[in-house]
A and B are shown apart, each in its own frame.
Chain A
Amino acid sequence: MYKLVLCLRYLRTRYIALASIISVMLGVATMIVVNSVMSGFSHEMHTRLHGIMSDIVMESHGMNGFRHWEEHIKNVKEVIGDDIESITATVHVPAMLSINVRGQWLPRHVTLVGIDPDTYAKVSDFSKYLKHPENRSAVSFDLKENGYEAPTESPLFSAGWNHRREKAAYEKELRAQMKRFQVFEETGRYPNEIIISNQPTPVAPPQQPNPLRTVNHEEEVPIIPPHANDADAPPLPGAVPAELLINQEESPYDVANKGADRFSAARGTLKTKIYDPMHDQATGIILGIAIGSVRQRNAEGIVKDYFMVLPGDDVKLSFPTSSSPPQIASDTFTVVDFYESKMSEYDGAFAFIPLDRLQQLRGMIDPTEGTAVSTIQIKLKEGADLQAVVNKMRATFPPEVFPYRIQSWKDLQGPLLAAVEMEKTILNILLFLIIGVAGFGILATFYMIVVEKTKDIGILKSLGASGSGVMSIFLWYGFSLGIVGSGVGMIMGLLFVVNINRIAGVIEWITGKEVFDPTIYYFREIPTIISPVSIAWIVAGAMFIAVLASVLPALRAARLHPVEALRYE
């Protein structure tokens, strides 16, 4: 009984001891904050890294990929069929994307992925990140009328067929104006009407009055020219049909299927078909949002997306064919959607087009041998052991026989994930060392208290208190200081974590500097995850250190000879 009473009494009267555990408190609070933010960060990274990836990627080293991929899929299904949720085949190829901005062609290096929209959406979270709600439930490479999810003031909000038609009309009007001007120069008379001949003209750069449209429409330049609503305008031969850009000799297999889009294919007459951007779209392409836009801070310091290309605009792609040596194939595509996984590595790297079209353009369709793909991607069922499945697959396709690489998404992102884990571990060690240092503070303070209480210890012993009883006073003392320190630290840490974005805002307001720069991280907010288990570990660790630090002084108190303590005043 006296142990508890004295312990409480010492707690109440020795504020110096409370001061000594402030460091424990701060250590616990920082550890909780750092762990929560790091977990939030790494969880966000995990989901995003995993987001547009499947669980397992089996890729061919060769430029022309697997010839017998359907058979491989069958093999895979035989081996690990129970664990497979879905499976798809894709073609990956490095490509050069050209975006026309203000009459200039901007090159972008992308990884072009040919996908089968239905199965690919089942294999990864890719569709979840698409900007058009309809595409999220069923991915399609058809341009939507409108309805892209974006703030109303963002140009993306009004993109789609509307945008395409307005732009086409504007370009047509621009050409008409130029023609009139030409006539005026030649004849000295300004013509009322111009008949534009049907003969192909060089590819008209899609002139835009203000291509870098901003989310902020304060000084909006009207994109819609005065005559834009001229819906009855005749088809404009402004753009060259996409198929003319392809070197036919390099892709001998795809003659039959060659067409700018499914509409033209339906109309059949390939060469005579007129590609009218007013009504037609080229093959759809889905771009990572960072490919077609830049996220920047404007003069007022507000972070905005500036779009260089929007759904409805045409872009060009050049990529190597599968022949040896590879030739360059190019084609025009119509941007139909963006995806935003918020992983800048992905959002700035990948472009998706339909698998069959890519196979066709790259010459991966062989009339006798069938098609080829470059990767097979597998999504596993919930709870399947990723590494075990990878090992099984590696056994099925031994590297000595098959020039394939089988990797889990974790292998693919290994360095990045390992770096984050490493960072977390090191930070935890450092912070725990801080708590350890605080432990020495406790030790010193406790030792002083024991020395100061020498007489009291002697008195207690003369009254019949045992050595272990006196010892437990100080152990309890350390323990309760540990509880107070880690408890307050935990509450502080949790409060900090819960309000971290507000606190970051305050710091930003005071310093005028962004704490968590969304242009770098692609996060709007600092992500946090409060993990009860890790908090329990931190608190237990801090308490352990507090108790450990009080063991030595408590032992001294227990060993104290009562006579020595009692003899003098």
Chain B
Amino acid sequence: MSKTSSTQQDFALQAPGDSGSKINQHGLRGPHIPVEKFESSADKSDKTNPNVGHLYTKNLVKSYHKGKIEIPVLRGVDFTADEGRITSIIGQSGSGKSTLLHLMATLDAPDSGEIYFENNRIDNISSRARDKMRNRDFGMIFQFYHLLPEFSTLENVLTPLMISNGMWKYWSQRKKFRQRAEDLLKLVGLGHRLNHRSKELSGGEMQRVAIARALIADPKILLADEPTGNLDRKNGDEILDILRKLNRENNLTIVMVTHDNSIAEQADSVVRLCEGKVQTA
């Protein structure tokens, strides 16, 4: 955990010349650089930890309580998201997909079972370490976009950096950060909407902003909860294209929750959740 985060931390401080190969054409320097560059750059931390973005769960159990009634949601889920691949979780509404995703993102704690990220157990670590992981290792995308209404497009994208950097640190690097946010917004096709408020954007545009925000801290894994669930077909496809492109070009691990079979089919592997258990499809 600490090793990986150290490689994550200094991405923004990297001078363009020094191992410049790490910054690709999108301004992204994911850990998932193309294979030949991965070999040539000979990054020690990447080599010692080959499971970049690898996430799996062991026998996860989670139930909710409504008063005295216990509502079991997950009854022993074993789920694996392989590094550099798109894994989709499919299941009926209420089958516990979101619950599983939240558990993996350390937003909630399971009743029992274990979650591993890059071979480190993450379901029992301190809340501080969890906050740090959510900030740096995980990118989250939600069905309802979840942008901050008080912020402009650009500020929304910059929020994770604002959270991880203190005032002085942020201020001293604000130009670099801003440039990166602009690049990411261009990448998702919103280069012209930098200063709009989120309520002035359409659903598809908002989801693009959310993707840019999820990418800004250069995560190792993207967790998307029905990213197209609230969008029309065309916008949904565009979003999926972006995600696929990110996976292809940056080798970014993606876990995508959906209830739509046709979308799920486009992933590298599909996991079906049914009655709180995994049915391999």
Listed in ascending order, the chain A residues whose CB lies under 8 Å from chain B are 1-2, 4-6, 9-10, 13, 455-456, 458-467, 469, 561-563, 566-569
Check if B144 sits within 8 Å of A465, measured CB to CB: no
In the complex, A569 Cα to B169 Cα: how many Å? 34
Task: Name B132's contact: one of A4, A464, A467 (CB within 8 Å).
Answer: A464
Bound-state CA distance A13–B108 (Å) is 31
CA distance A460 to B148 in the complex (A): 9
**B150, A465: Cβ atoms closer than 8 Å:** no
> CB-nearest residue of chain B relative to A466?
B131
A selection of 29 A-B contacts at a CB cut-off of 8 Å is: A1-B162, A1-B166, A1-B167, A1-B171, A2-B159, A6-B148, A9-B150, A10-B150, A13-B150, A455-B146, A459-B146, A461-B107, A462-B146, A463-B135, A463-B160, A463-B163, A463-B213, A464-B132, A464-B133, A464-B134, A464-B160, A464-B164, A466-B131, A563-B107, A563-B108, A566-B107, A566-B142, A566-B146, A569-B144
Taking a contact as CB atoms under 8 Å apart, the answer to whether A464 and B150 are in contact is no
Chain A residues near B135 (CB-CB < 8 A): 463-465
Considering residues B136, B163, B164, which has the most beta carbons from chain A within 10 angstroms of its beta carbon?
B163
Taking CB as reference atom, which chain B residue is nearest A561? Answer: B108
Which residue on B lies nearest to A12, using beta carbons?
A: B150
The answer to whether A462 touches B170, judged by C-beta atoms less than 8 angstroms apart, is no
Tell me, rounded to whole Å, the shortest Cβ–Cβ distance linking B19 to chain A: 26
Query: What is the predominant secondary structure among interface residues of chain A facing chain B?
Result: helix
Given A463-B160, A467-B127, A563-B102; A456-B148 close (CB under 8 Å): yes
**5 extra interchain contacts, Cβ-Cβ under 8 A, other than A1-B167, A2-B162?**
A10-B150, A13-B150, A459-B148, A462-B107, A569-B144
Q: Chain A CB within 10 Å — which of B127, B148, B170 has the most?
A: B148
Task: Confirm or deny: B81 has a beta carbon within 8 angstroms of a beta carbon on chain A.
Answer: no
CA distance A33 to B78 in the complex (A): 70
Q: Report the Cα distance A562→B144, complex, angstroms.
A: 15
Chain B residues near A464: list those with CB within 8 A.
131-136, 160, 163-164, 217
**What residues on A are CB-neighbors of B148 within 8 Å?**
6, 456, 459-460
Contact B127 A466, beta carbon cutoff 8 Å: yes
Q: Tell me which of A4, A563, A568 has the highest count of chain B C-beta atoms within 10 A of its own C-beta.
A: A563
**Min CB–CB distance B40 → chain A (angstroms):** 32
Q: Please report the C-alpha to C-alpha distance between residue A464 and residue B217 in the assembled complex, in whole angstroms.
A: 11
The 9 closest A-B pairs by CB, nearest first: A464-B135, A2-B162, A1-B170, A9-B150, A464-B134, A1-B162, A569-B144, A466-B131, A459-B146
CB distance from B158 to the nearest CB of A (A): 9
Are the C-beta atoms of A462 and B134 separated by less than 8 Å?
yes
* Contacting pair B165 A1 (CB below 8 A): yes
Tell me, yes or no, whether B105 is within 8 Å of chain A by CB.
yes
Partner of A465, one of B147, B149, B155, B163: B163
Selected contact of B163 from candidates A455, A469, A566, A569, CB within 8 Å: A469
Nearest chain-A residue to B103 (Cβ)?
A563
B98 located at the interface, meaning its Cβ lies under 8 Å from any Cβ of chain A in the complex: yes
CB distance from A1 to the nearest CB of B (A): 4
Identify whether the interface residues of B are mostly helix, strand, loop, or mixed. helix
Tally of A-B Cβ pairs under 8 angstroms = 77
Contacts of A1 in B (CB 8 A): 162-163, 165-167, 169-171
B155's nearest neighbour on chain A, judged by CB, is A5
Q: Which residues of A contact B131 (CB under 8 A)?
A: 461, 464-466
Q: How far is the CA of A460 from the CA of B146 in the complex (A)?
A: 10
Closest to A465 in B: B163
| Residues of chain A with a CB closer than 8 A to B159's CB | 2, 460, 463
Considering the complex, which residues of chain B in the window 77-130 have a beta carbon less than 8 Å from any beta carbon of chain A? 98, 102, 105, 107-108, 127-128
Complex Cα gap A537–B27 (Å): 53
**CB-CB nearest in chain A for B105:** A462
A1-B166, A1-B167, A9-B150 are known contacts. Are A466 and B128 too (CB-CB below 8 A)? yes
Nearest opposing residue in chain A for B150, CB measure: A9
B11 partner residues in chain A, CB cutoff 8 A: none
Q: How far in angstroms is the closest Cβ of chain B from A474? A: 14
Among A5, A13, A459, A561, point to the contact of B162 (Cβ < 8 A).
Answer: A5
Q: Which of B30-83 contact A (CB under 8 A)?
A: none
Quick one: which of A10, A13, A458, A465 has the most chain B CB within 10 A? Answer: A465
| B211 lies within 8 A of chain A by Cβ | no
Give the Cβ gap from A467 to chain B, nearest Cβ, in Å.
Answer: 7
Q: Within 8 Å of chain A (Cβ to Cβ): is B185? A: no
A463 to B130, CA, bound (A): 11
Q: Which of B108, B142, B146, B171 has the most CB of A within 10 A?
A: B146
Chain B residue at smallest Cβ distance from A8: B150
A417-B155 Cα distance, complex, nearest whole Å: 60
Flag if A6 contacts B163 (CB, 8 Å). Answer: no
Binary A-proximity of B145-157 (CB < 8 A = 1, otherwise 0):
0111111000100
A464 CA / B127 CA spacing, docked (Å): 10
Q: Does B254 contact A (CB under 8 A)?
A: no
Assembly CA distance A568 to B144 (angstroms): 8
How many angstroms from the CA of A456 to the CA of B146 in the assembled complex? 8
Q: Is the CB of A6 within 8 A of B150?
A: yes
Chain A minimum-CB-distance residue to B134: A464
Assembled-state Cα–Cα distance A13/B163 (Å): 21
Report the minimal beta-carbon distance from A456 to chain B, rounded to whole angstroms: 5
- CB neighbours of A6 from chain B (8 A): 148, 150
User: Nearest Cβ in chain B — how far from A48, in angstroms?
Assistant: 54
Q: Which residues of chain A are within 8 angstroms of B150 by Cβ–Cβ distance?
A: 6, 9-10, 13, 456
Measured CB to CB, the nearest residue on chain A to B166 is A1
Mark contacts of B247-275 with chain A using CB atoms, 8 A cut-off: 1 yes-contact digit, 0 otherwise.
Answer: 00000000000000000000000000000
Q: Which B residues are CB-close (under 8 A) to A13?
A: 150
Q: Is B239 located at the chain interface by the 8 A CB criterion?
A: no
Q: Output the least CB separation between A564 and chain B (Å).
A: 9
B243 within 8 A of A: no
Say whether B28 faces chain A, with CB atoms less than 8 Å apart.
no
Q: Are B142 and A463 in contact (CB under 8 A)?
A: no
Q: Which residues of A lie under 8 Å from residue B102 when comparing CB positions?
A: 563, 566
Q: How many angstroms between the C-alpha atoms of A566 and B101 in the bound complex?
A: 12
Most chain-A Cβ atoms within 10 A of its Cβ — which of B102, B147, B150, B170?
A: B150
B240 to chain A, nearest CB (A): 21
Given the complex, which residues of A lie within 8 Å of B213, measured CB to CB?
Answer: 463
Q: Do B107 and A9 have beta carbons less than 8 Å apart? A: no
Cα A460 to Cα B163 in complex, Å, equals 8
A564, closest chain B residue (CB)? B108
Nearest chain A residue, comparing its CB with the CB of B108? A563
Assembly CA distance A510 to B147 (angstroms): 55
A446 to B: closest C-beta gap in Å: 16
Tell me whether B140 is interfacial, beta carbon within 8 Å. yes
